Structure 1
Amino acid sequence: MSRFYTDEHEWIEVEGETATVGITDYAQEQLGDIVFVDTPEIGMELDQGDDAAVVESVKAASDIYAVVSGKVVEVNEALEDEPSLVNSSAEEDGWFFRMTLSDTSELNDLMDENAYKAFVDGL
């Protein structure tokens, strides 16, 4: 498995042709208490950069973008009843959706963990 990050504070963990997408711990800290997550529809085709989901907190609503292009194959249904999973486990149990990748070369545009940590430290 390989994990990558965006400058929008999203992470993607790739295993074969399937990837899991969520927001980083830094992002959930900035948002505050998460009260609602709107995940994409299963079967939805996304292009890199498309609006994929929405996360709402007591502070604001934020769009979650498609980290790479592909097709949504699963959503985290636990977030429907317990959106606070994003706060308590942003990079594990609080994932948003899984997708099949249509263009793995798009992963080359993303940061690895060390680059992302350096990016956050510079904010």
Structure 2
Amino acid sequence: MKEISELNLPEDLRYTKDHEWAKVEGDTVKVGISDYAQDQLGDIVFVEMPEVGDTFEAEDEFGTLESVKAVSELYIPISGEIVAVNGDLEDSPELLNQDPYSGWIVEVKPDNIDEINELLDKDAYLELLKAE
């Protein structure tokens, strides 16, 4: 397990209390799991993802991760429609362990992009991790 000071937490992402990240890219938002989440889960062996076209409200469960340790739910950080899923994860779920920020899970067309401002910035997310 990594120490908090060893975690890779990019400044340009927003984070959730459930350890997902969100990154605005044009008119969509990519979503994945944080370095902390992948470190805690251990070796990820399966990713269950929604279908393109599925819609979710912020904080809805949108999939699961299975690791050698546990099954963990994924919660969408922003309301909207799934416009892409990372098909590479079907055959290579371990990509999330190798680089959780290149290994995005879904891409969302948000209903309201301003919801991104309700998520945690890097400093607030670090404070949350220190409290856990």
TM-score, structure 2 length as denominator? 0.87
CA offsets per residue over residues 19-53 of structure 1, 9 Å max, x none?
A: 00000000011111100001110000111111111
Matched, 1:114 2:120: no
Aligned-residue RMSD, C-alpha: 1.4
The equivalent residue for 2:109 is 100
**Structure 2 unaligned runs (5+)?**
1-11
CA distance in 2 between partners of 1:118 and 1:51 (Å): 24
- Aligned residue pair count: 122
CA distance in 2 between partners of 1:100 and 1:73 (Å): 6
1:84 to 94, 102, 105: 94
More strand by share: 1
Matched, 1:13 2:23: yes
The equivalent residue for 2:14 is 4
Percent identity for Structure 1 against Structure 2: 45
2:60 to 28, 50, 59: 50
Partner secondary structure for residue 13 of structure 2: strand
TM-score, structure 1 length as denominator? 0.93
Partner secondary structure for residue 100 of structure 2: coil
CA offsets per residue over residues 37-85 of structure 1, 9 Å max, x none?
A: 0111000011111111110001111110111100000000000000000
